[in-house]
Amino acid sequence: MSCPDCGKRVPILFNALENRRCLECLRKARIRTIREQQKARNLNRMKSFEDGELFVYVNGDKAEIGKVKRKNNKGDGYFCYYHEGETAANTPLECMYKLVNSYTIKATTLGGVMEEE
Ligand SMILES: [Zn+2]
């Protein structure tokens, strides 16, 4: 067996370890994961949305326009409208992107209410 990251031979004993990496690469990968989680948390702390704000929801290669109803109870996302109905879906903050020119959208039917400017 060899480590997929550095190609170093890995003892058969280590085969059960995460992705069969050598101990050094395993440690590096864990540090990377922790750094990525910290970065995501910091990003989430900086990102916030107002009630009624329009945003873009991104899921893989698809995007939808959404409208914020209110912050969720855990504080890690928002209840949002994506349809004309009154049902708001709990949406994680990391899938929500700022729609910087949302001021150009004067009205939507999201959430079933058509507000006038
Ligand atoms: Zn390695």
pLDDT in tens, 82-113: 999 989 999 999 899 999 999 999 999 999 86
Ligand 1 centroid from CA 4, angstroms? 7
Closest CA to 110 of 89, 77, 82, 68: 82
Q: Could you write out the DSSP letters of every residue in 62-94? A: EEEEEEEEEE-SSSSEEEEE-SSSS--EEEEGG
Give me the percent of the chain exceeding a pLDDT of 70: 89
117 lies in a domain?
Answer: no
Ligand 1 centroid from CA 28, angstroms? 9
Instruction: State how many domains the chain has.
Output: 2
4 lies in a domain?
Answer: no
Ligand 1 centroid from CA 24, angstroms? 6
36 and 59 in one domain?
no
Ligand 1 centroid from CA 72, angstroms? 42
62 and 34 in one domain?
no
Question: Residue 117 has what pLDDT?
Answer: 41
Against a cut of 0.75, is the pTM above it?
no
The domain in which residue 100 lies consists of 54-112
Give the integer Cα–Cα distance in Å for 99 and 52. Answer: 13
In this prediction, residues 23-49 reach a mean pLDDT of 86
3 lies in a domain?
Answer: no
58 and 34 in one domain?
no
Question: Residue 59 has what pLDDT?
Answer: 92
39 and 22 in one domain?
yes
